[in-house]
């Protein structure tokens, strides 16, 4: 199966990361595709394109405004840099363990870099969605505490 077209090209990444020199263009292309998958995973409620140059992607950059396209390319490049720095093994482990003098915990590894989120901020490309079930409270169980604090 062929890789879906990435949101950024090798030249975009080389421009994004100052001083970067690509030694294996094919490896960078594959990394750009995986990073584009990561970006797709946080965009929210979009349908995937079924045909065309961006089949398998949530967005077609050719239909975006300049600022949206720039945010998408920069977010993809930020995610490539994160994947490169963290190493591919980081993205296959289920959690990251943290411990201190009196505690220890494990939490899911963040698969999307903070810089990726920052590059997408304000672009309007991330669609935050929520849902509610009929007859069930949307707020968490402790939500009544905050509303009824004056009543006590």
Per-residue pLDDT tens over the stretch 17-45: 998 888 999 999 999 999 999 999 999 88
Q: Categorize the per-residue pLDDT at 10 as very low, low, confident or very high, splitting at 50, 70 and 90.
A: very high
Choice between 2 and 1, residue whose per-residue pLDDT is larger: 2
What is the pTM (predicted TM-score) of this model? 0.75
Residue 84 · residue 31 · CB < 8 Å: yes
pLDDT on residue 75? 97
Burial 39-57 (b: 16+ CB within 10 A, else e): bbebbeeeeebeeeebebb
pLDDT on residue 127? 86
Residue 72 · residue 109 · CB < 8 Å: no
pLDDT on residue 99? 78
pLDDT on residue 6? 94
69-120: pLDDT as tens digits = 999 999 999 999 999 998 888 777 666 677 788 877 776 667 899 999 999 9
């Amino acid at each position: 199966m062929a890789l879906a077209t990435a949101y950024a090209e090798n030249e975009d990444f080389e421009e994004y990361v100052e001083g970067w020199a690509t030694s294996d263009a094919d490896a960078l292309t594959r990394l750009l595709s995986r990073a584009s998958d990561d970006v797709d995973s946080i965009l929210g409620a979009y349908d995937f394109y079924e045909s065309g140059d961006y089949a398998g992607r949530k967005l077609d950059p050719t239909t975006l405004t300049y600022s949206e396209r720039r945010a998408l390319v920069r977010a993809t490049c930020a995610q490539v840099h994160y994947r490169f720095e963290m190493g591919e093994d980081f993205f296959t482990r289920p959690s990251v363990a943290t411990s201190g003098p009196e505690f220890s915990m494990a939490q899911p590894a963040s698969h999307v870099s903070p810089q990726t989120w920052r590059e997408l901020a304000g672009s309007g490309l991330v669609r935050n969605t929520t849902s509610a079930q009929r007859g069930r409270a949307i707020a968490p169980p402790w939500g009544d505490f905050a509303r009824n604090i004056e009543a006590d």
